Chains A and B, each alone.
Chain A
Amino acid sequence: MNAFKRDKKEEEDGGGNPFSNLEKTTVLQEARTFNDTPVNPRKCGQILTKILYLLNQGEQLGTTEATEAFFAMTKLFQSRDVVLRRLVYLGIKELSTVAEDVIIVTSSLTKDMTGKEDLYRAAAIRALCTITDSGMLAAIERYMKQAIVDKSPSVASAALVSSLHLSGVSSDVARRWANEAQEALNSDSVMVQYHALGVLYQARKSDRHAVIKLVAKLMKSSPKSPYAACMLIRMACKLLDESNEGNELMEFIESCLRHKSEMVVYEAAHAIVNLARSGIREIAPAISVLQHFCSSSKPALRFAAVRTLNKVAMTHPTAVTACNLDLENLITDSNRSIATLAITTLLKTGAESSVDR
Chain B
Amino acid sequence: MDGHLMEPTLYTVKGIAILDNDGHRLLAKYYDKNIFSTTKEQKAFEKNIFNKTHRSNSEIIMMDGMTCVYQSSVDLYFYVMGDSHENELILMSVLHCLFESISVILRRNVEKRAVLDNLDVVMLAMDEICDGGIILDANPINVVQRVALRSDDTPLGEQTVAQVLQSAKEQLKWSLLK
Contacts and interface: CB of A to CB of B under 8 A. Distances in A.
Interface of A: 4, 7, 10, 16-19, 37-38, 41-42, 45, 48-49, 52-53, 56-58, 75, 78-83, 86-87, 90, 119, 122-123, 126, 154, 157-158, 161-162, 164-165, 191, 194-195, 198, 201, 205, 227, 230-231, 234-235, 237-238, 241, 262-263, 266-267, 270-271, 274-276, 298-301, 303-304, 311, 334-338
A86 B124 contact: yes
Interface in B59-108: 59-62, 69, 74-75, 87-93
Given A58-B39, A161-B10, A300-B60, A82 B149 contact: yes
Contact of A38 (B87, B117, B138, B167): B167
A10 B75 CA distance: 14
22 contacts: A10-B113, A38-B171, A45-B120, A52-B123, A82-B151, A122-B146, A154-B146, A191-B136, A227-B138, A230-B87, A238-B8, A241-B1, A266-B88, A271-B5, A275-B5, A300-B69, A300-B88, A300-B92, A303-B59, A304-B87, A335-B60, A337-B62
Interface in B98-130: 111-113, 116-117, 119-121, 123-124, 127
B176 to A, nearest CB: 12
A90 B127 contact: yes
Contacts, number: 173
List 5 A-B pairs, minimum CB-CB distance, nearest first.
A58-B39, A335-B58, A198-B10, A234-B8, A299-B59
Contacts of A48: 120
Contacts of A195: 10, 134
B48 interface: no
Contacts of B49: none
Contacts of B7: 234, 238
B22 to A, nearest CB: 10
A80 B5 contact: no
A19 B18 CA distance: 15
Contacts of B28: 56
A267 B4 CA distance: 12
Residue of A119, A241, A299 most packed against chain B (CB within 10 A)? A299
Contacts of A267: 87, 89
Contacts of A337: 58, 60-62
A221 B32 CA distance: 33
A271 B1 CA distance: 12
Contacts of A42: 153
Given A191-B136, A300-B92, A303-B88, A90 B111 contact: no
Given A79-B167, A86-B147, A194-B135, 7 more contacts: A4-B74, A82-B149, A164-B10, A227-B90, A234-B6, A336-B56, A338-B58
Nearest to A234: B8
Contacts of A266: 87-89
A304 B89 contact: yes
Contacts of A274: 1, 4-5
B124 to A, nearest CB: 5
B10 A311 contact: no
Contacts of B69: 300
Interface of B: 1, 4-10, 25, 27-29, 39, 42-43, 56, 58-62, 69, 74-75, 87-93, 111-113, 116-117, 119-121, 123-124, 127, 131-132, 134-139, 142, 146-147, 149-151, 153, 156, 166-167, 170-171, 174
A81 B1 contact: no
A298 B120 CA distance: 32
Nearest to B130: A161
A90 B123 contact: yes
Contacts of B89: 262-263, 266-267, 300-301, 304
Contacts of B166: 80
Contact of A119 (B74, B119, B136, B146): B146
B10 A230 contact: no
Contacts of A338: 58
Contacts of A271: 5
Given A80-B166, A263-B93, A337-B61, A56 B27 contact: yes
A96 to B, nearest CB: 12
